[in-house]
């Protein structure tokens, strides 16, 4: 067992990002948002006009991905930089998410990103957010969380987030997009989205983020 790792896996929009930030803040640990790596890879493929299903080229791109992370001093957010270009503005878009989930089905691309993800582990500890953190990347983590919620609830939350940012959004389109991404993530042959053995499974559909955090902290205290 590698000490002090909490893995947080689950479908998009279940609240993993917020939960991971709160956990890392509370424990004073580092954080890995692994979805960003897949998003950068998807964006890099689009940038270089590589088809998202071209396994050889995408894998090669993943192996040589020139990516850096910069802390934005005003927002305090870590921003990905690809080949010198700051991607902060487009990394969270739905297009980047869809591209990410398409390149994420390629086994050799996942393999290429494995070490990069493990390098995020540092003491005093790491909260690792993704789809396969507990199953593949950190299989010996002492605490594994699987956070889920109904597709409708996840689409609703995303809708509110976008509205609050002043971005025009369409509920039906969001729900379709979430379902398409779920389907790809759940049915891919390598590292599909499934709860790890021994994972604490929480459905956040009817819970506030504070209630989720309380349950996770209780579970972690018993497991570490």
Q: Is 100 in the site for ligand C5P (CB under 6 A)?
A: yes
Smallest gap, in angstroms, from Cβ of residue 100 to ligand C5P? Answer: 4
Annotated binding site for ATP: 10-18
Q: Is 10 in the site for ligand C5P (CB under 6 A)?
A: no
Which one-letter DSSP state was computed for residue 87?
Answer: -
Q: Is 181 in the site for ligand C5P (CB under 6 A)?
A: yes
Letter string b/e over residues 56-88, b meaning 16 or more CB atoms within 10 A of that residue's CB: ebbbebbeebeeeeeeeeeeeeebbebeeeebe
In the numeric block, the tokens 């959004």 are attached to 169
Reading phi first (left if > 0) and then psi (alpha if -120 to 50, else beta), residue 49 is in left
Q: Is 132 in the site for ligand C5P (CB under 6 A)?
A: yes
Beta bridge partner(s), residue 69: 80
Smallest gap, in angstroms, from Cβ of residue 17 to ligand C5P? Answer: 7
HEC string of 23-83 equals: HHHHHCCEEEEHHHHHHHHHHHHHHCCCCCCCHHHHHHHHHCCCEEEEECCCCCCEEEEEC
Q: Is 185 in the site for ligand C5P (CB under 6 A)?
A: yes
Among 61, 104, 151, 155, binds ligand C5P (CB under 6 A): 104
Q: Is 8 in the site for ligand C5P (CB under 6 A)?
A: no
Smallest gap, in angstroms, from Cβ of residue 76 to ligand C5P? Answer: 19
Give the start-end residues of each E strand in the chain.
5-9, 30-33, 67-71, 78-82, 85-86, 126-130, 143-148, 200-203
Annotated binding site: 10-18
Q: Is 34 in the site for ligand C5P (CB under 6 A)?
A: yes
Element at 86 (helix H, strand E): strand 85-86
| Piece of 30-38, 78-86, 164-172, 203-211 that binds ligand C5P (CB under 6 A) | 30-38
Smallest gap, in angstroms, from Cβ of residue 222 to ligand C5P? Answer: 25
| Piece of 22-30, 49-57, 77-85, 126-134 that binds ligand C5P (CB under 6 A) | 126-134
Which stretches of the chain bind ligand C5P, using CB under 6 A? 12, 34-35, 38-39, 97, 100-101, 104, 130-132, 181, 185
């Amino acid at each position: 067992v590698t000490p002090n790792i909490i893995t947080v896996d689950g479908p998009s929009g279940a609240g993993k990002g917020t939960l991971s930030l709160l956990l890392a803040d509370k424990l004073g640990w580092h954080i890995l948002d692994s979805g960003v790596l897949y998003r950068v890879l998807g964006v890099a493929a689009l940038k270089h006009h590589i088809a998202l299903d071209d396994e050889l080229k995408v894998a090669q791109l993943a192996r040589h991905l020139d990516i850096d992370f910069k802390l934005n001093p005003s927002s305090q957010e870590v921003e990905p930089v690809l080949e010198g270009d700051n991607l902060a503005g487009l990394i969270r878009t739905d297009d980047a998410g869809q591209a990410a989930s398409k390149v994420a089905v390629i086994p050799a691309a996942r393999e290429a990103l494995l070490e990069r993800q493990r390098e995020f582990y540092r003491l005093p500890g790491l909260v690792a957010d993704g789809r396969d953190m507990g199953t593949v990347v950190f299989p010996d983590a002492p605490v594994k969380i699987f956070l889920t919620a109904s597709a409708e609830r996840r689409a609703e939350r995303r809708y509110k987030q976008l509205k609050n940012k002043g971005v025009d959004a369409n509920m039906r389109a969001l729900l379709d997009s979430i379902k398409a991404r779920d389907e790809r993530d759940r049915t891919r042959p390598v590292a599909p989205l499934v709860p790890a053995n021994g994972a604490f499974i929480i459905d956040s559909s009817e819970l506030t983020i504070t209630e989720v955090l309380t349950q996770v902290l209780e579970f972690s205290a018993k497991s570490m």
